[in-house]
Amino acid sequence: MILPLKKVPGDNYLFGRGGVVDSNNNYIQISGIENRIQGKYDVLNVEKRDEKVVYCGYLVPHWGHFLIEAVACLWYLFDETLLEDKYDKYIFLLKRMRKEL
C-alpha cells in the first residue's frame, strides 16, 4: 500500500510520513528518505485498485535535490527483466497530491 504524504503532530520529518507498507502493514524503510519522509500512519479509508505500479518515491520540486534523491528511485530502469513487464502507473509522492499522474 502506498501512503501519501501526511504531517503528523510531534514528528520532526521535513515532509511528513508516507511511503510504502507491505501486506502485513510493515513499513518499508527504503521507501522513505531519512529525516525527510519516514514512517506509516493509520489509514481509515483504503482505496483498493487492481493495478501494477512502480513506486518511485518523493518527487522533489528542486532540480539539485531531484538529481540526488528522486533519480535514485529509478533503479528499476537498469534491470532489463523488470522493463519487460507492463506497468499501469509510475507513482511519485508530491508535496501536494492534486491529481493522479
Q: Residue 98 domain-assigned?
A: no
pLDDT exceeds 60 at position 98:
no
- Looking at the 3D structure of the chain, how many domains does it have? 1
CA distance 67 to 89: 21
Q: What is the pLDDT of residues 51-82, one digit of tens each?
A: 988 888 887 666 666 666 666 666 666 666 66
Residue with more model confidence, 73 or 1: 1
Name the pTM for this structure: 0.74
At 100 the pLDDT is: 44
The reply to whether 99 falls in a domain is no
In Å, how far are 12, 36, 47, 51, 100 from 39, measured between CA atoms? 11, 10, 20, 24, 22
Q: Which domain holds residue 15?
A: 2-93
Q: Is residue 28 assigned to a domain? A: yes
